[in-house]
Amino acid sequence: MSTETKKPFVMGFIGRSGSGKTTLAAAVLRVLAARGWRVCAVKDAHHHIDLDTPGKDTWRYRESGASRVILRTPERWAVLTETPEGTPGIDELLKETGDADIVLVEGFKHEGSFPKIEVRRQAAADRPPLVREFGGRINLAAAASDFDEPDFAGVPKLDINRPEETADFIEGLALAAGAKKSAR
């Protein structure tokens, strides 16, 4: 039995607020999953959220000092991990993707060397694209948009309204990188 850990193919979705990152990534995830890929999603939130409910058992364990609480239900299980040392980086989070074949990452524009797709809608294009702001610090693989953006010259352009097209693009890169669908 091999002890080698399979590394999933990682693709990022970046863009300004309101650009359609979540909408596109969720639609692409649906297509990839229907094609038999095990897909994990990682989301970077810039605001406080709490997945726990004050007064409930898991909350009480956390309040009592547990560094990690695991909750199991008949439908799913979850791990709540405290971060006293600060927010973990994307590389640390990618270690938690389980048996995924492909990982779709939303946000993390400043982190990770994995390829990224910049998502841009004309209706939310009041600021310049991130690729202009961050240039070579973003491993830009493609742009998904609903209009012609001159800043995306030289990169593949994907139709933001055709998630199958973006899924085809990601699947092609994943296969070229050696990704394989897990047995189900």
pLDDT digits (tens, 9 = 90+) for 62-86: 888 888 888 888 888 888 888 768 8
Environment class of residue 58 by beta-carbon count within 10 Å: exposed (0-12), middle (13-18) or buried (19+)? Answer: middle
The answer to whether the predicted template modeling score (pTM) of the entire model surpasses 0.75 is yes
Section 52-61 average pLDDT: 85
Q: Which has more pLDDT, 9 or 51? A: 9
Indicate whether 1 pLDDT > 80. Answer: no
Question: What distances in angstroms separate CA 79 from CA 67, 76, 91, one per listed residue?
Answer: 10, 11, 18
What pLDDT score does 38 carry?
Answer: 96
- Whether domain 9-48+87-177 has CATH 3.40.50.2300: the reply is no
